[in-house]
Amino acid sequence: MIIKDIDVKNIMTKTNLPVSDFAVNPYVGCTHACKYCYASFMKRFTNHPEPWGEFIDVKYWPKIDKPGKYAGKEAFFCSVTDPYQPLEKKYCRTRELLEQLLPTGISISISTKSDLILRDLDLIKQFPSAHVAWSINTLDEDFRKEMDRAVSIERRLEAMRQFYDAGIQSTCFISPIFPGITDVIAIIERVKHQCNLVWLENLNLRGDYRAIILDWIHEHRPDLDGLYYDIYTKGRREYWIALDQKIREYTAKEGMLYIRDDDQHRSPFGEPPVVCNYFYHEEVRKSAKKDR
């Protein structure tokens, strides 16, 4: 692992993401090394020759300027790294940023694959409308180990439960959904009593990791070659349409609110959890930011 310290001029980056006003990334790179990680594109801008998952830049920034301007805004941790990857235990850059932002009145949302976030539960609870999501796309630990180096699924689920019990808005982010592999209904069944929201996101294959994933499917699940060819080469949607209908029937039976991405972009939290489908990225409306 190549680790180096870097100084940055600003840690708060304005973003067009519909879920926040600012994106914050205390690190460059991520040791979770997810095979499907879209953030690997960052290597084009950072000039890292190392494989994705084999380098980390630890960021240091000046004191946040004019903290009052962040009141009523929202910051997303993190858009291109995991704020609670293992190195955070040593470097505490995420915790440092949370401590700096707490007096500003900003809201925060956090996405992670880690249970290290439990260290900061008391701090996160002090933010207005804090929202934490855990990425879980399988209950099969063997498949999880093939796809990432993050903590086990059970550890993620336990962290989610503790945040939920502490009254913090908690989300199970079922992403990415691997066709023919991810059992969406089984995951919702597992988490429906310990989260307020379930997000669904399909596997998108682009960039360098397209070949990595398709090669893995061919080697380990050749029975799915035809399905992946139909979806990712021919652009066919029958699988997602059928899955959408299956989830719609399940949520209706369970009394859950089910929202399509073309219905609403800012999903309400609920009990039982609200399920929100974000299958078709290319059709997300340009007005998403305004709708928020």
Q: Which residues pair with 60 in a beta bridge?
A: 7
pLDDT digits (tens, 9 = 90+) for 213-258: 999 999 999 999 999 999 999 999 999 999 999 999 999 999 999 9
Q: Determine contact, residues 210/283, Cβ cutoff 8 Å.
A: no
Amino acid symbol at 124: I
Closest CA to 182 of 132, 149, 151, 227: 227
Q: Is the pLDDT of residue 23 over 50?
A: yes
Q: Tell me, what's the pLDDT at 286?
A: 45
78, 222, 253 from 17: Cα distances, Å: 11, 36, 33
Q: Is the pLDDT of residue 281 over 60?
A: no
pTM of the model: 0.91
In 26-168, the DSSP E strands lie at 27-28, 55-60, 74-77, 107-112, 131-135
Tell me the two tokens of residue 281.
């990225």
Q: Is the pLDDT of residue 284 over 60?
A: no
The set of residues, in sequence order, having a beta carbon less than 8 Å from that of 93 and lying 6+ positions away, is 26, 27, 58, 59, 60
